[in-house]
Amino acid sequence: MPGQIVLEDFQIESLLNNNNYAAAADYLFNSQMKSWELLKKNYDALRNVQTESFWFNGVKLKVQFNPERFKSTSAEVDEDSVKNRECFLCVENLPDEQKGIKIRDDFIMLCNPYPIFPQHFTISSLNHKPQSISESFSEFLVMSRQLSPQYTLVYNGPACGASAPDHLHFQAGTKNFMPIENDIQQLKNDFGKIIQEDEIITTSFINDGFRRLILIESTEHKMIVKTFTRIYKAYEKLFQDDVEPMMNILCTYNSVFGWSVIIFLRSKHRPEYFYKNDPDRILISPAAIDLGGLVITPREEDFIRIDKELLQQIFREVSLDEKNFSLLAEKVKA
């Protein structure tokens, strides 16, 4: 790894040595705000972005008009486009101003210069290898615990939202900024079906009418990995494809209740509206953060046009259909 990418700082080193990853990330963020002009400009702009909230049966979706996200929302992620571009997550291609902190052995945590959250990070593998949750889920859980005092962890599958499907990465964002983090227990109570429950772990399948998600709650790392693997295998079998079955994941950790893993199941990457010509086009490309209730519209015309019905229609279209969702629940239960 090129040495200059790691922020060399006595304070960060001491925070990391004490396993205080969240404080180290916060320190990195503040340091980059001082030294990286583009970053500061974009975070300052984020403070004034327009948002609008919509309510569905007592749960919230928030729409954020964020012009800086145009590039990532509209990114071409097909195999050829990815092959023909330089990988923007490989450390040798990062901007000169960018610094990071090492997380675990082979990840680096970097400030995202095109933020959605008040603090938004990319945690990318130091090796260029494909985005894959089956290979990295255990690490993902550990990291979410390490960063949990301040951040929530995000994973987007290679075929449903990852902007670099060829380079393993997660995101971390300011805790409790996505509405679902506050709404999840209500969603579970109102729309959930408990598939597995004992003193160690609870797994619920939740269908709120426009999203299909699975919630795994436990304090036991091993049990979550075991349950996730079982779900993953059953889900993979439903499609028999050679790519990872489409899912987006959010993960939080709390010292009393342990982990909450929210897995959104998908049927497609982007809605029909995305591919229409203007003026019919709506540039929304739903991934974990959007499904978590924080929907990004990079264009003002879409922000103005979006309403409750369109949001529901778009979410319903990209979410796993009810039939397969029930089928999966049966298989996981068995």
Total number of residues that touch Zn ion (CB under 5 A): 5
Among 33, 46, 90, 310, binds Zn ion (CB under 5 A): 90
Residue nearest to Zn ion as judged by C-beta position: 87
- Provide, rounded to whole angstroms, the least separation between the CB of residue 29 and Zn ion: 23
- Contacting Zn ion within 59-88 (CB under 5 A): 87
- Contacting Zn ion within 99-128 (CB under 5 A): 128
- Contacting Zn ion within 152-171 (CB under 5 A): 167
Cβ atoms of 111 and 39 closer than 8 Å: yes
Cβ atoms of 90 and 167 closer than 8 Å: yes
- Provide, rounded to whole angstroms, the least separation between the CB of residue 12 and Zn ion: 24
- Provide, rounded to whole angstroms, the least separation between the CB of residue 98 and Zn ion: 14
- Provide, rounded to whole angstroms, the least separation between the CB of residue 92 and Zn ion: 9
Helix H, strand E, coil C: the string for 224-246 is HHHHHHHHHHHHHHHHCCCCCCC
- For residues 43 and 289, give the distance between their C-alpha atoms in angstroms, rounded to a whole number: 18
CB closer to Zn ion out of 94 and 296? 94
Burial of 237: CB neighbours in 10 Å, binned 0-12, 13-18, 19+: exposed
CB closer to Zn ion out of 82 and 87? 87
CB closer to Zn ion out of 167 and 212? 167
Task: Return the range that interacts with Zn ion (CB under 5 A); candidates 45-53, 89-97, 236-244, 258-266.
Answer: 89-97
Residue 308 CB: number of other CB atoms within 10 A? 11
Longest Cα–Cα distance of the chain, Å, equals: 55
Burial 74-84 (b: 16+ CB within 10 A, else e): eeebeeeebee
Angle between helices 322-333 and 221-239 (to 10 degrees): 130
Token duo for residue 231: 């779900």
- What would the x/- binding string for Zn ion be over residues 27 to 66, using CB under 5 A? ----------------------------------------
Site residues (vs Zn ion, CB under 5 A): 87, 89-90, 128, 167
